Structures are given as structure tokens and as C-alpha cells.
Amino acid sequence: MNAHLPFICCADREFLTFIWIQESAILGTDAKTKKAPSTSRALLMIVGLNVFLAAWLTYKTLYVPSTASGGVAITLMNETFRPMIDMSLVYPGGKFELPQIDAKVGGIGFPIPLGKRFEATLSFKDAEGHEYKEKFPIKPLGESLIQLHVLPVLEEAVIKTADGKDEDVLKASTSKVRVLTSYQAAVTQSIGSEK
């Protein structure tokens, strides 16, 4: 260890101790015990940093809205082949209502001021007066547009043919629909990229 010390022409013991402490700090050793410092402090710092990062990620994922506006954009698509009359979408803290959405319209869009996972209930009637009510979860995914596809549920039924025979067929349910969720990425365009 003394090979690293510069040549000193004085015999002052306090001065040599001062130089030894400076060299110990540079080399990472303890000046009194001449040992390398224990790794417990470094390990404690790494564990503390990991706990902090895990807490921060949990907070950002579960409690902070993902979108800048603090809500989500939803498009409701009627794919039931029947008009949805007196449609209502109920979510925590609000409701969206429309008198009618025709089949295969392409979608009705609206914002919802919730940025985290929530339960929604869709209810409507068809042209024959059958009532439908479905509860389903909605989980925002960043700034993606949420598309709700309302599809018919097919059930087995027996019908009579023209010659009087019974025929097994699948037909749309008069009490249930299926709501499928899909996501469309946000469309962004940087300034100056138009050509």
C-alpha cells in the first residue's frame, strides 16, 4: 500500500497519516482497519431503489390516468344486424345515451372521463321490443381508442321447413349480446413529416 504514496522527505507523523487517509479514500479502503468497505450499504441502496421504482410503477399503472386528458375515447359499433333503440352505456360517475344506433353504421364515438379500469353496462331494445343488458369491463391502454363491438350471441333453435320437417339452426339471441373490446393506436403525426 505504501508504494502508492509519493516520496516524502519529512518525518512528520501527522502529515503521513493525512496522506494515508487521502489515499484510502481514493482506493476505497477504510483508513483505520485497512479493509474494503462492506457491501451492505451498496446492497441496501440497491434494494431501496428497487422498492422505490416498484412503488412508482404501481402508482403510474393503477392510479394515474394513462392519457393526457385523463379519460378515454370510445367508439361503439352496432354489429347485431338490428337497430339498437334507447341505447344507454352506464359507467361509474356517468351515462351516455342515444335514441337509436342503426346496424352497421360504422361507430358512434364519445369520451369517458375515466382513465383506469372500470365496469360498464350497456342496455338497449331491438325493433321487436326485446331488451338487452350486458355488463363488461373496460381497461384503457395508453392513448389507444377503445372500440366496443356489439355482436349477436347465436343460440340453437328449431324451425319448421316448408315441407313440415324440423330443422336445427343458429339464430341471434333475443336476450343476450356479446361486447368485444379492441384497441386502435393513437394516430400521431410529427410536424414537418408531411410530403
Q: Which domains does the chain have, with CATH numbers?
A: 12-62 (no CATH), 72-184 (2.60.40.2890)
| Predicted pLDDT at 62 | 65
- Supply the pTM of this predicted model: 0.58
Per-residue pLDDT, 149: 92
Contact between residue 5 and residue 22 where contact means Cβ atoms under 8 Å apart: no
Q: What pLDDT digit, counting tens, does each position of 73-103 carry?
A: 899 999 988 899 999 999 998 999 999 999 8
List beta partners, residue 120: 136
CB atoms within 10 A of CB 158: 8
Supply the mean pLDDT for the chain. Answer: 78
CA distance 179 to 74: 13
Contacts of 166 (CB under 8 A, 6+ apart): 158, 159, 160
**What is the structure's pLDDT at 57?**
79
- 148-187 pLDDT, tens digit each: 999 999 999 998 899 999 999 998 899 999 999 988 876 6
According to the 3-state scheme, what is the secondary structure of the chain? CHHHCCCCCCCCHHHHHHHHHHHHHHHCCCCCCCCCCCCHHHHHHHHHHHHHHHHHHHHHHHCCCCCCCCCEEEEEEECCCCCEEEEEEEECCEEEEEEEECCCCCCEEEEECCCCCEEEEEEEECCCCCEEEEEEEECCCCCCEEEEEEEEEEEEEEEECCCCCEEEEEEEEEEEEEEEEEEECCCCCCCCCCC
The Cα–Cα gap between 151 and 55 comes to: 40
Q: Give the integer Cα–Cα distance in Å for 45 and 30.
A: 19
Q: What are 110-155's pLDDT values in tens digits? A: 888 887 889 999 999 999 999 999 999 998 887 778 999 999 999 9
